[in-house]
Amino acid sequence: MSEQTAMEQQVFQLSFQQDVAVVTMDVPGESVNTLKAEFADQVRAVLQQIRGAMTEQTVRGVVLISGKSNSFIAGADIAMLDACSTAAEAEALALAGHEVFAEIEQFPVPVVAAIHGTCLGGGLELAMACHWRVITDHEKTRLGLPEVQLGLLPGGGGTQRLPRLVGIAKSLDMMLTGKQLRAKQALKAKLADDMVPESILLNTAIALAKTGKPGKRQLKRDLMAKVLETNGPGRQLLFSQAKKQLLAKTKGNYPAPEAILAVVRHGIERGIKRGLAKEAKEFAKLVMTPESESLRQLFFATTEMKKDFGGGDAKPADISKALVLGGGLMGGGIANVTAIKAGIPTRIKDISEQGISHALQYSYERLQKQVKRRFVTKSQSIAQMAKLSGTLNYSGVKDADIVVEAVFEDLSLKHQMVADVEANCSEHTVFASNTSSLPIADIAAHAKRPENVIGLHYFSPVDKMPLVEVIAHDKTSDQTIATTVAFARKQGKTPIVVKDGAGFYVNRILALYVNEAAQLLLAGEPVDHIDRSLVQFGFPVGPMQLLDEVGIDVGSKIAPILQQHLGERFTAPAAFDKLLADDRKGKKNKRGFYQYKGGKGTKKVDESVYPLLGVSANQSLRQDDVIERCVLQMLNEAARCLEEGIIQSPRDGDIGAIFGIGFPPFLGGPFRYLDALGAAQVVNRLESLTKTHGSRFEPCDRLLQMAKDNESFY
């Protein structure tokens, strides 16, 4: 038996039940099924086998089901796309997929996709080529086309079949955002024909296969969809509005969404055959773009990171109970992701009943939104809230496996917290501090068990921001590191392990970026010009708006700590003291760089900020000059952090910047962007800026050496 035939038998197993051919897909050695190029021939072989069986026995239909416990097909193998060296190779892959899916679509008897768990990308495209789709009502069942998140468009017929199944507007919403539909949403959208409990999925699919192929499907549209989707002028308006909204979000930095719009429109106006041909061509072009290359590398980096616990060979300890110290905004958010997301019983300790009440309210409100949207049932929300409790003292915390401290940035207060936890919890309890700037070694200075003390720095808002920094000081044990990383992953976070030091990694590179924006403001550049420039570059918000969001008062507390430990380049402009003297804290008290009315930012600059700072706003710099000064500060400091061992690798630095502060993902992170610019070019610009603006722009030693040796980070 050849190697391919052996593999074929392992991936696609064929059996017959009740006159129906059941094809079970199970890629050996993988936790999920992914589509690979070599499977095309194997699918054809199975279909041929079924055709052969039809000459000898009654075969009324085919069911395609997964042998994996939690997924149908998670998508196409991204490494296969990464291996393409030309657009022609990528186009050939797409066309091969089109041929196989067309064969399924044209099969003489009905083909039913029986879907449980994730059905994404190429997996959904395969399912849409089938005649029927049955899904389970399980919470893990998700259907979507997330290719846009890799800088691509769906290349297996998705741009053509999805609009014909769910309508143009709904399909664009899914493809342009990468949004995944839950089971109920997929059924309502008519992407699925039936929804059943997992226990009867196969039997339901078999019964459906025996009913014959569906008749011509009539898409049920609401009035708005009828007006916009069923005639030329309506579609013209729909696509032009979609493009306008798209460019407002992407600033033209991402080519994939525009390509998706063009391909969908082409297929709707010219027919599915031409639409598929254009899809393959545009897909191939996108595979070759630097944007997609960067986004694919980010995908590989985060996947690789999931296997690394950062604690050498140490295995994470089990965590069955957690304690959160402090019921403020951060404490409430941390308790939420621990109890609700990770499912770990969590106790909140605060000095007041009001603090505990606020922290519990944080989770309650979020759960009620999910109940309202029918993502969870009322009974499920009650069960989840039952995992949260509060205390004014240390009662009921002896068995806590981890304590996350989220109190004020006050070193003596944090010392007290460590002492309290060591006195009231067990010897193995991990003490994790959510400090944003204080060195962890300082917090652990008087600890009896310093090996259990670690930093766990979350970003606000905790339930939305994906990154956490896990900060180990010299005495933190490998077991504590591994346990904390595993704990953060359970909370749905992407953790990076960083070395102890003031500001750690993310706040350190952010501080110089924001400081430079402040210098530009004090030189007379308007607030909105600075912010617009950096948003155009690819950041989600500009630095001045970010200061308003985080809190000007918070920034003012961090700056002196960074200056004390890291030097004069971190000195915040003295004029900023005038903002605090004028009680400007930002969005939280509706007084900052922007005006706030009715609780929302109007994105209109508060002009009174200029006379307060003693500046006359007058734009004199080009957008590119503003971008260069702020971004080069960040890049230089990122390289310095790698040089000092604050981060372990360029990979960690890129993930930290993208997930922590929204560094433009299409650029791949600070280190991939440094490679794209070239060390010599960056050093040249930094040296030029040093001559004009002073020593804060001096390039770090690592960049100087790399420029000299013509080296890159990757």
Mind listing the pLDDT tens digit for each residue in 351-402?
Answer: 999 999 999 999 999 999 999 988 888 999 999 999 999 999 999 999 999 9
Strand-pairing partners, residue 458, are 468
Q: Which residue has the higher pLDDT, 104 or 314?
A: 104
List, in order, residues 6 or more apart from 357 with CB less than 8 Å away. Answer: 327, 390
Note whether residue 162 is domain-resident: yes
**pLDDT of amino acid 598:** 61
Q: Which residue has the higher pLDDT, 534 or 564?
A: 534
Say yes or no to pLDDT of 311 above 70. no
277 with 405, same domain: the answer is no
218 with 185, same domain: the answer is yes
445 with 490, same domain: the answer is yes
385 with 500, same domain: the answer is yes
Say yes or no to pLDDT of 304 above 90. no
> Residue 2: which pLDDT band, with cuts at 50, 70 and 90?
very low
Q: Contact 711/650 with Cβ under 8 angstroms?
A: no
**pLDDT of amino acid 7:** 45
Angle between helices 232-250 and 168-177 (to 10 degrees): 20
Q: How far apart are CA 533 and CA 513, in angstroms?
A: 13
List, in order, residues 6 or more apart from 679 with CB less than 8 Å away. Answer: 703, 706, 707, 710, 711, 712
Mean pLDDT of the 190-205 span? 97
For CA atoms 270, 271, 277, 282, the dihedral sign is: positive
Taking only the tens place, the pLDDT of each residue in 460-480 is 889 999 999 999 999 999 999
**The domain boundary residue, chosen from 456, 488, 504:** 504
Give the DSSP per-residue string, 531-543: HHHHHHHT-SS-H
Note whether residue 669 is domain-resident: no
**pLDDT of amino acid 553:** 87
175 with 62, same domain: the answer is yes
| pTM across the whole model | 0.88
464 with 487, same domain: the answer is yes
475 with 518, same domain: the answer is no
Q: Among residues 662, 665, 638, 637, which one has the least CA distance to residue 652?
A: 638
Write out the residue range of the structural domain in which residue 437 sits.
322-504
**pLDDT of amino acid 322:** 97
Note whether residue 552 is domain-resident: yes
Q: Which amino acid is at 283?
A: F
369 with 455, same domain: the answer is yes
176 with 264, same domain: the answer is yes
Quickly list H helices, 288-317.
Answer: 290-305
Note whether residue 560 is domain-resident: yes
Residue 320's CB is within 10 A of a number of other CB atoms, namely 11
Percentage with pLDDT > 90 across the chain: 83
Whole-angstrom CA distances from 683 to 17, 96, 136 are 69, 46, 56
CATH code for position 142: 3.90.226.10
Task: Indicate which residue of 469, 516, 525, 637 is catalytic.
Answer: 469
Strand-pairing partners, residue 134, are 114, 194
207 with 341, same domain: the answer is no
**pLDDT of amino acid 310:** 73
> Residue 303: which pLDDT band, with cuts at 50, 70 and 90?
confident
CATH code for position 633: 1.10.1040.50
Region of poorest pLDDT, from 102-116, 404-418, 499-513, 577-591: 577-591
Reported as type and span, the H/E element at residue 454 is strand 453-458
269 with 174, same domain: the answer is yes
**pLDDT of amino acid 4:** 44
Note whether residue 657 is domain-resident: no
Residues in the chain: 714
Say yes or no to pLDDT of 539 above 50. yes
Q: How far apart are CA 131 and CA 215, in angstroms?
A: 10
**pLDDT of amino acid 1:** 35
Note whether residue 672 is domain-resident: no
Strand-pairing partners, residue 349, are 325, 391
CATH code for position 428: 3.40.50.720
Q: Which residue has the higher pLDDT, 170 or 589?
A: 170
**The domain boundary residue, chosen from 448, 483, 504:** 504
Taking only the tens place, the pLDDT of each residue in 507-531 is 999 999 999 999 999 999 999 999 9
Give the DSSP per-residue string, 588-608: GGTBSSEEEETTEEEEEE-TT
Tokens at residue 330, please?
């951060």
Say yes or no to pLDDT of 601 above 90. no
Taking only the tens place, the pLDDT of each residue in 133-158 is 999 999 999 999 999 999 999 999 99
450 with 515, same domain: the answer is no
Task: Provide the domain count of the chain.
Answer: 3
DSSP 13: E
- Strand 600-605 to strand 594-597: parallel, antiparallel, or no bridges (unpaired)? antiparallel
∠ CA 220-225-226 to the nearest 5 degrees? 75
Say yes or no to pLDDT of 600 above 60. no
**The domain boundary residue, chosen from 288, 310, 333:** 288
**pLDDT of amino acid 602:** 54
Note whether residue 308 is domain-resident: no
Q: Is 469 among the catalytic positions?
A: yes
Q: Among residues 230, 165, 231, 228, which one has the least CA distance to residue 192?
A: 165
> Residue 599: which pLDDT band, with cuts at 50, 70 and 90?
low
Taking only the tens place, the pLDDT of each residue in 58-101 is 999 999 999 999 999 999 999 999 999 999 999 999 999 999 99
Say yes or no to pLDDT of 605 above 50. yes
Average pLDDT value over all residues in the chain: 93
Q: Contact 172/224 with Cβ under 8 angstroms?
A: no
Note whether residue 673 is domain-resident: no
- Dihedral angle at the C-alpha atoms of 226, 227, 230, 235, nearest 10 degrees? -130
**pLDDT of amino acid 523:** 95
Taking only the tens place, the pLDDT of each residue in 269-290 is 999 999 999 999 999 999 999 9
Taking only the tens place, the pLDDT of each residue in 669-678 is 999 999 999 9
Say yes or no to pLDDT of 6 above 50. no
Taking only the tens place, the pLDDT of each residue in 229-243 is 888 898 899 999 999
Q: Contact 501/644 with Cβ under 8 angstroms?
A: yes
